[in-house]
Amino acid sequence: MVGHGPAGHRLVEALRERDAPGSWKITVIGEETRTAYDRVALTTHLEGAELAYPAHGPEVTVLPGEKVVSIDRAGRRVITDAGRDVPYDALVLATGSAPFVPPVEGKDLPGVFVYRTIDDLEAIREYSSTRGSGVVVGGGLLGLEAARAIQGLGLDSSVVEVAPWLMPRQLDEGGGAMLRRHIETLGMDVHAGTPMARLSAGEDGAVRHVVLSDGREIDAEVVVFSAGIRPRDELARLAGLEVGERGGIVVDSACLTSDPAIFAVGECALIGGMVYGLVGPCFSMAEVVADRLVNPDSTASFEGADLSTKLKLMGVDVASFGDPFADALGVTYTDPIGGVYKKLLVSDDAQTLLGGVLVGDAESYSTLRAFVGGKLPGAPEQMLFGGTEAAGGDLPGTTVICSCNNVTAEGIRCAISDHELRDVPAIKACTRAGSSCGSCVPLVKKILDAELTAAGIEVSKAICEHFAYSRAELFDIVRVRQIPTFSQLIAEHGTGRGCDICKPTVASILASLSSGHILDGEQAALQDTNDHFLANLQKNGTYSVVPRIPGGEITPDKLIVIGQVAKDFGLYTKITGGQRIDLFGARVEQLPQIWKILVDAGFESGHAYGKALRTVKSCVGETWCRYGVQDSVGMAIRLELRYRGLRAPHKLKSAVSGCARECAEAQSKDFGIIATEKGWNLYLAGNGGMRPRHADLFATDLSDDELIRTIDRFLMFYIRTADRLQRTSVWLESLEGGLEYLREVIVEDRLGICAELDAAMDHHVEVYSDEWRDTLEDTERLRRFVTFVNAPDVPDSSIAFEIERDQIKPVLVTGPRLEVVTK
């Protein structure tokens, strides 16, 4: 086999799986000095990820760092540039593709790179260390990955795409526009619909500008071309094999070239008039060739491929499935404020799903893709909004779940039953489903859960496919082993590189254990959007600032400061139900300026952005109220200052009422306190929201110290044992033994852990530090707070306001809408 990329690697593995007697002696000749690695995850190499595939084993001869320069078809042998002469009975060309570099002036200047291999990434990283700006030419899948990579290297980044919108081969115009909106909010400039004319050099002779056809110049000390690929067919041409008019080694459905002893697979192959650049079709070709080599009578053939794809680009979910450009009835949902675009294309009778596009929310991708070409289980508009959630157990057996490896629902179900599989990693190992791009893993998990439930087997509580543990188990691992980082945790106790489920969960665990500032090092990359900017993102792209006002008590001087900040920065002010003041409408670059004024006046972060303690509400208590029997304000302030910054599986709210009249509404809080003549009554596990729950009375007539220690233990036990995003109310309902069991644990010390819980809370109180102040004192952290990296002082022109009731109000172009467009 010539070439050792993903397709070549898969072919060798497939051949070894099928060729049990070992009748084939396999030799692999690869031009790169590295053996095969995962090109799909190329960008993560810069983050330290290991991309190499497992070695084939001693029965396979791998010759890296050699290039095949000629094929002797008559003698059935290949010659390498090292002079090696290798005979063959069957030859497979898996030479892949090369980046396309447009023939523009300046393409050979120093500082101009392509983005295809690990060596390319290493060269870009080394060169970029002393540069400040970069441009990626190409707004497709790989181009946006390249843009993410150079931005991660600290460069001010721009993308140039000749098509009118990004990812034109996968997304329609609406999806491309929404993706652009997301990417520009991350500080990256997008220039779409205007071709590049040339590259110009600076005084040092290296590239300095990208010049567009309309005359605009873009600063570019680094330029990366990712404008498409061209099949590596030069070896086939020299050997006289048939190639396509526009490139590619012509093969039939068996992946055979014009020479019956030579196959071609992957991106170098032209099959059915197409060159496939996605890993799924390339793997399918490898499977076909493996079948043909092992069994000469095999009728295995490549019958086309599913070009569906799902990925997360710079934190944005993007997916397309089926035919996203079908001339058909369309059902479209657009929410420009929330950054969501969804489109389904269906048959004229709205019964058959033909394709679709998802941007900003691709949770339903795996299930929707499984229904392509089949009958929809509900109305199209229902499918857009969660109508696929129950799917998994009811999917037809012939439904292709993993298009990368052509695994059906029935194949997964049979594997679960026949091999007694109990988790997703076992299914991956057995069927290969989910082992390539990973986009089908959620649906694989649904099928697994449905099968196990039907068989009466307990379903695994593993947080995701990367950790075979629940959140509570992960918490204990991190706590006991004192693991400080996500990378160490996944290296020692997980698999892969993590996902959008486990990363923020581990980030919360680390924060709960006070493992450094949340914006330090790799911690910053784990955070959700709000935590990432220490502020709440609002619907028009601005942020709200919520300073802490413990117990709702505030001096006139501090009120004046808040009012002056709102006036100077033109913010909308709102007193919340939790006795705080929200300041709305701050742009990202204004956040540190606002924090500085507030911090200097004695304020600190109210953690309105985090899964943490929000507020401890209070009435005025016995100090002012004629009915009050205890100092509710003093207790509320004491509790809020004790638990401020405490990270938890979900947000926490509290209140203290000074008498039984309950003006602070304490019984609707995660922990609520009501004063009595003898002390305090403690209520636990209440909440408002979509599913209100009245808190349960846990203890009565507690002293101040008894109250605080009981709450300490309640909160720490909850943080240790709750599931991801589980409110205290749901957590308590899930505890076997309920309130009585909780009392045994945190009052009677049934488990012998009360001393640990006490020490953990004391540690939290001791190491607490205000995140706003800490960020202001660190120049590296402050670099995150700019609207545009290359123009930090330029405001976002897409943000606009109008005046209503003497305050600003966002001007929204349009709200969420659902429309049906006939063809």
Residue 812 placed within a domain: no
- Which residues contact residue 787 at a Cβ distance below 8 angstroms, ignoring those fewer than 6 apart? 187, 587, 588, 589, 794, 795, 796
pLDDT 10s digits, 580-610: 999 999 988 899 999 999 999 999 999 998 8
Average pLDDT over residues 23-46: 87
* CATH number of the domain bearing residue 355: 3.30.390.30
Beta bridge partners of 210: 199, 218
Average pLDDT over residues 341-345: 89
Q: Comparing C-alpha atoms, which of 506, 476, 470, 768 is closest to residue 613?
A: 768
Q: How confident is the model at residue 501 (pLDDT cuts 50, 70, 90)?
A: confident
Do 265 and 379 have their domain in common? no
Q: Comparing C-alpha atoms, which of 810, 100, 641, 446 is closest to residue 427?
A: 446
State the chain's mean pLDDT as an integer: 87
DSSP state of 19: -
For residue 82, CA distances in Å to 79, 307, 423, 607, 794 come to 8, 38, 47, 63, 56
What does DSSP say about strands 207-212 and 217-219: parallel, antiparallel, or unpaired?
A: antiparallel
Asked whether 433 and 427 are in contact (CB, 8 A), the reply is yes
Residue 346 placed within a domain: yes
Q: Which amino acid is at 646?
A: L
Do 190 and 335 have their domain in common? no
- Of 643 and 330, the one with more pLDDT: 643
pLDDT of residue 528: 67
pLDDT 10s digits, 619-651: 999 999 999 999 999 999 999 999 999 999 999
Q: Which amino acid is at 725?
A: L
Residue 371 placed within a domain: yes
Q: Which amino acid is at 133?
A: S
Do 748 and 716 have their domain in common? yes
Residue 808 placed within a domain: no
- Lowest-pLDDT range, 338-342, 656-660, 818-822? 818-822
Q: Comparing C-alpha atoms, which of 670, 724, 744 is closest to residue 512?
A: 724
Do 631 and 744 have their domain in common? yes
Q: How confident is the model at residue 336 (pLDDT cuts 50, 70, 90)?
A: confident
For residue 420, CA distances in Å to 417, 651, 823 come to 5, 39, 48
Task: Report the percent of the chain where pLDDT is more than 90.
Answer: 47
Do 514 and 619 have their domain in common? no
DSSP 506-563: HHHHHHHTT-S-TTSTTHHHHS-HHHHHTSEE-TTS-EEE-B--GGG---HHHHHHHH
- Lowest-pLDDT range, 302-316, 390-404, 660-674? 390-404
Do 748 and 665 have their domain in common? yes
Do 520 and 668 have their domain in common? no
Residue 548 placed within a domain: no
390 pLDDT higher than 50: no
Domain count, the chain: 5
Do 758 and 634 have their domain in common? yes
The C-alpha atoms of residue 324 and residue 307 are separated, in whole angstroms, by 10
pLDDT of residue 389: 44
Look-up of token digits 């992960």 = 474
The C-alpha atoms of residue 584 and residue 360 are separated, in whole angstroms, by 23
Do 216 and 158 have their domain in common? yes
- Of 476 and 517, the one with more pLDDT: 476
Residue 685: exposure state from Cβ atoms within 10 A (0-12, 13-18, ≥19):
buried
- Which of 129-143, 562-576, 769-783 has the highest average model confidence (pLDDT)? 562-576
Cite the DSSP H helix spans in 735-803. Answer: 738-746, 754-767, 771-776, 779-782
Is residue 710 helix, strand or coil?
helix
The C-alpha atoms of residue 267 and residue 480 are separated, in whole angstroms, by 48
Residue 15 placed within a domain: yes
* CATH number of the domain bearing residue 254: 3.50.50.60
The C-alpha atoms of residue 447 and residue 391 are separated, in whole angstroms, by 8
Do 271 and 376 have their domain in common? no
The C-alpha atoms of residue 110 and residue 249 are separated, in whole angstroms, by 33
- Domain boundary (227, 249, 270) is at 227
Cite the DSSP H helix spans in 404-470. Answer: 409-419, 424-431, 441-454
* CATH number of the domain bearing residue 618: 3.30.413.10
Do 251 and 365 have their domain in common? no
pLDDT 10s digits, 561-587: 999 999 999 999 999 888 999 999 998
- Domain boundary (246, 270, 294) is at 294
CA Rg value for the chain: 30
Residue 174 placed within a domain: yes
pLDDT of residue 691: 66
- Domain boundary (227, 245, 266) is at 227
The C-alpha atoms of residue 457 and residue 625 are separated, in whole angstroms, by 58
Asked whether 314 and 320 are in contact (CB, 8 A), the reply is no
Is residue 408 helix, strand or coil?
strand
Do 758 and 626 have their domain in common? yes
pLDDT of residue 570: 93
pLDDT of residue 736: 81
- Of 419 and 250, the one with more pLDDT: 250
Residues present in the chain in total: 823
Q: Which amino acid is at 406?
A: N
Residue 755 placed within a domain: yes
8 pLDDT higher than 80: yes
Q: Domain range holding 512?
A: 471-527
pLDDT 10s digits, 728-761: 998 998 888 889 999 999 999 999 999 999 999 9
pLDDT 10s digits, 440-485: 777 787 888 888 888 888 777 788 878 988 888 999 999 888 898 8
